[in-house]
Amino acid sequence: MLKIGEFSQAAKVSIKTLRYYDQMGLLKPAWKDRFSGYRFYHLTQVEDLNQILALKEMGFSLDQIQTILQDEITLPQLKAMLRLKKTELQQEIKTSTSQLALIEDRLNQLDAGADLAQITLIQEPTILDQINKPKELEQMKVEIKTLPAFTTAGMKYVGKNENNQIAAMWQEIGPRWGEINNPAKPYERAFGICGEMEEDGSFTYLAGIQVDKVEDLPADLNSWEVPENTYAVFPCTLRDIHKTYQYAHSTWMPENGYKRADGPDFEYYGEHFDPADPESILYVYIPVKK
Amino acid sequence: MLKIGEFSQAAKVSIKTLRYYDQMGLLKPAWKDRFSGYRFYHLTQVEDLNQILALKEMGFSLDQIQTILQDEITLPQLKAMLRLKKTELQQEIKTSTSQLALIEDRLNQLDAGADLAQITLIQEPTILDQINKPKELEQMKVEIKTLPAFTTAGMKYVGKNENNQIAAMWQEIGPRWGEINNPAKPYERAFGICGEMEEDGSFTYLAGIQVDKVEDLPADLNSWEVPENTYAVFPCTLRDIHKTYQYAHSTWMPENGYKRADGPDFEYYGEHFDPADPESILYVYIPVKK
DNA sequence: TTTACCGCCTCCAGTAGGGGGAGAGTCAAG
DNA sequence: CTTGACTCTCCCCCTACTGGAGGCGGTAAA
């Protein structure tokens, strides 16, 4: 008649484990009080628990132990299980041994002066189909440019661009450039700036123009200071803008040895841009580093 | 510019795994389409994946691999990690080897004619304090009786006996025995029958009397057919009924080599029983087998 | 244009063997 | 009566994924 804590001490098994075995049906307490829920064990159950632990030491899973102990398994079945387990253990030992050999090999290589890249290299390079680059993007002339920091102001959006809200925003902000500045032409110095995607898929986007100062900005507009950065610049048509981003990240950058650098990417439109013409040219700027 | 399925085939890693590595931040696709959510990989990333797999083969966890690859670990740190892993692997091999020895030992014992009990026995018996049996129960005279099947009828309850609903039920059923039968005395042939506890802690309880037939039973009453069984019978006072169940299961049964058998247990009251007197005697019947 | 189909997405649940902790109830001593 | 030690259930966390439901994306046939 031991409470779970006493039994736990006596058998040197954690209380959590005993409750788990109870729940699994592997070792039920001799008596469970219907009203307090307290578990009571008897000393003789230490033997049962030791049986379980003995089988666990041999590497059996709790389910297997339950089968062995409860279903009063036959002797040939037990032998078969032991032999199966034996095979599994031999396999495990083989795996661990080969891992160990790998490690020792790498350690020796390190002592001989190799570096991480060589260490983790796998010998068999997989030969794969060539990349199918979109034809219309093949001849794209990409430039690398470093821009100083600059400030933009306009309308900000945070979300996943459901229902194409960003296009709607450009419609809305179009007639209001005068509230920020007085540009000579509608799309002169106009930028669409896009921050990094969050875990939930949302991102920040600002439709705006370059400004010198952010004073007297209407309350529903925002500004964004873009830091100095080195960019890869991709000229493209309005129609291909989506493909251009994809091409830039998934083809051009890996093949030319560039990596994405910190900082937002953006599109620059220019005074000749016409949102109604899908052939209209704009420029995609993506921060990169070698 | 490979979609996840293509990359998965090229690198021989499951799509699920690639998505998992993306989520972990271990291997992000070169480009993730903001609108469709599609992942795009580049062939050069097969190398990155191979680095990951190489480290995995050495037995590192994904977190460790991330540390190694991302944080541009120093050479001495890398060596230390490799050596640590080496030690772990040596330990694993030792464990597996001793498990294997245990298994082979048991297999030999089995061939020599041992049985399960001997196989799972652990050599060091833990010496423990004696059991502290409640004194008033020490002298309890327990009888083993086999009863034929019989039928009872009365009021049924299913639940966890919150707010002591079972006592309330006895109050309610008391004046209504006449609707079932015509007993000479109030508690003559009266039984409280208790089924096994469910997983959620609820159980079935019937407060009733023994009957010969269950015809003409009022709609709000139930019957319960108790099968033939062998019982351990514990006489006890109303006050000690709770302790008696506990003692029976957690002390008497293990110490006398009995196990709980299938079937409900019950209390038998008898014509002299007085629910107002805590010293009133009743009999607890618990199905047992050797 | 509709339909079918395949590939891809996200989100949820589950795996073995428990560990950690919250919030509430139990028990014995002072 | 209160206090402190003990226990209860319930829920989330760990690894390294796998499986499935329900819902888009994109293409080809009808």
What tens digit of pLDDT does each residue of B27-64 get? 999 999 988 899 999 988 998 999 899 889 888 899 99
- pLDDT confidence of residue A131: 47
- Which of the four pLDDT bands, split at 50, 70 and 90, describes residue B129? very low
Q: Do B126 and A32 touch (CB under 8 A)?
A: no
For residue B147, give the 3-state DSSP assignment: strand
Residues in a beta bridge with B283: B235, B268
Of the options 3.30.565.10, 3.20.80.10, 3.30.70.330, 3.90.180.10, the CATH number for the domain spanning B137-289: 3.20.80.10
Which bases on strand D have an atom closer than 7 Å to a protein beta carbon? 6-10, 15-19, 24-26
The reply to whether B118 touches chain A by the CB within 8 Å rule is no
Instruction: Specify the DSSP element, H or E, that contains B166.
Output: helix B165-173
Confidence of residue B233 (pLDDT cuts 50, 70, 90): very high
Displacement of CA B212 from its chain's centroid (Å): 38
Burial class for B194, CB neighbours closer than 10 Å (0-12, 13-18, 19+): buried
Residue that the structure tokens 């989506």 belong to: A242
Average pLDDT over residues B218-238: 91
Estimate in Å the CA B281 to C1' C17 gap, whole number: 47
pLDDT of residue B53: 92
Residue B148 banded pLDDT, cuts 50, 70, 90: very high
Question: H/E/C letters for each residue in chain A?
Answer: CEEHHHHHHHHCCCHHHHHHHHHHCCCCCCEECCCCCCEEECCCHHHHHHHHHHHHHCCCCHHHHHHHHHCCCCHHHHHHHHHHHHHHHHHHHHHHHHHHHHHHHHHHHHHCCCCHHHHCCCCCCCCCCCCCCCHHHHCCCCEEEEECCEEEEEEEEEECCHHHHHHHHHHHHHHHHHHHCCCCCCCCCEEEEECCCCCCCCEEEEEEEEECCCCCCCCCCEEEEECCEEEEEEEEECCCHHHHHHHHHHHHHHHHCCEECCCCEEEECCCCCCCCCCCCEEEEEEEEEC
- B17 CA to C12 C1' in angstroms comes to 17
Query: Phi, psi at residue A151, to the nearest 5°?
Result: -120, 140
Answer yes or no: is A19 CB < 7 A from strand D: yes
C-alpha distances (whole Å) from A244 to each of A140, A164, A168, A196, B188 are 10, 18, 22, 17, 92
Residue B28 C-alpha from the chain's centroid: 43
Mean pLDDT in residue range B194-211? 84
- φ, ψ for residue A189 (rounded to 5)? 55, 30
- C27 C1' closest Cα residue: A36
CATH code for residues A139-289: 3.20.80.10
Which residues make beta-bridge pairs with B284? B234, B267
Q: Which of B10, B53, B96 sits opposite A128 (nearest CB)?
A: B10
Q: Which of B1, B106, B250 has the CB atom closest to A42's CB atom? A: B250
For chain A, residues with pLDDT lower than 50 are 123-131
Put simply, the chain B residues between 124 and 163 with a CB less than 8 A from any chain A CB are 126, 128, 131-133, 160-161
For residue A116, the model assigns a pLDDT of 64
User: What residue ranges of chain A are covered by domains with CATH 3.20.80.10?
Assistant: 139-289
Mean pLDDT of B96-123: 75
**The sheet that has B39-41: what strands, in order across it?**
B2-3, B39-41, B31-32
Dist. CA B37–CA B19, nearest whole Å: 12
* pLDDT in the model for residue B126: 47
Nearest residue to D6 via alpha carbon and C1': A5
- Cα(B136)–Cα(B70) distance, integer angstroms: 70
Domain with CATH 3.20.80.10 in chain B: 137-289
Rounded CA-CA distance A290/A230 in Å is 10
Question: Closest nucleotide to B15's CA, by C1' atom?
Answer: C8
In tens, the pLDDT along B271-286 reads 888 888 888 899 999 9
Contact between A151 and A211 under an 8 Å Cβ cutoff? The reply is yes
Q: Supply φ then ψ for residue A234, to 5 degrees.
A: -115, 110
CA–C1' span, B19 to D2, in Å? 57
Domain A2-70 has CATH 1.10.1660.10: yes
Query: Which of the pair, B196 or A63, is modelled with greater confidence?
Result: A63
Q: How confident is the model at residue B105 (pLDDT cuts 50, 70, 90)?
A: confident
Residue A118 neighbours by CB distance under 10 Å: 11
- Chain B CA closest to residue A109: B79
Best CA proximity match to B289, nearest among B265, B264, B253:
B253
B97 touching A, CB under 8 A?
yes
More confident residue, B173 or B117: B173
pLDDT at residue B120, rounded to an integer: 61
